[in-house]
Amino acid sequence: MSLRLQIMGAFAYVLLLILVALEVPLAVNLARRIDAEVKNESAAQAFVVSAGASGRMNNPKQLRELANDAGRDLGGRVIIVDAPRGRLRADSTDPSPGLLRYASPSRPELRIALSGRRAQGERHSATLGADLLYTAVPVTNNGRVVGAVRVTQSLDAVHARTRRAVLALVAIGGFALVLGLALAWVLASSLSSRSAASPRRHAVWRRATSTRARNGQVRANSAMSRAPSTT
């Protein structure tokens, strides 16, 4: 293997280790940050709907408009139920939901919200066949819980956003790797050229030294032959 390829291989190995050591933790932190941002956005939207629904629980038209607007902004489903029965008053995906009892045991987050607490988590929806992020918050009026708001989003969109961010990070790392290999190629070419030129310079120096030595010996012999004999 030539010196150039040896230098390129060593540089590529070190550079790859550095990129992996930097990008893997960064990708993990990026995924966590996106997850936290999505959850915070969902909770913030749920509280906005809750504040808008306070004092309007007896106005189905306004509740439907509120749920529809929030659903469009968030790209998810927004429902509003009353207290204490948990009957469905508004649904962003159904213009005529009817007064169905929606706070059932299969939806414990609504029961938690109707008790005055916030609930947030993930679960699989057998009806939709998808994983969902849900956020449920209470609706209060004069310090009394009068209903609850639940916001659900498909986690597919969250995962797609995470994948795009990670792929962008990988692309940046790949560009840095290509740039580093190009620089390594230039340095390796320069070092290999110097290494190849060094034996030639050494050979030239040896020939020049040998020539000077022979010339010196010739001059010495000539001087000795011209010297007068003392006998």
Q: How confident is the model at residue 125 (pLDDT cuts 50, 70, 90)?
A: confident
The dotted CATH code for 37-155 is: 3.30.450.20
The pLDDT value given to residue 79: 92
Per-domain residue ranges for the chain? Answer: 37-155
The pLDDT value given to residue 178: 84
pLDDT (average), residues 10-15: 78
Q: What is the pTM of this model?
A: 0.64
Tens of pLDDT, residue by residue over 168-199, are 888 888 888 888 888 877 777 776 665 554 55
pLDDT (average), residues 154-172: 82
**In Å, how far from its chain's centre is CA 113?**
33
The pLDDT value given to residue 221: 57
The pLDDT value given to residue 231: 47
Tens of pLDDT, residue by residue over 25-77, are 888 888 888 888 888 888 998 999 999 999 888 888 899 999 999 888 888 88
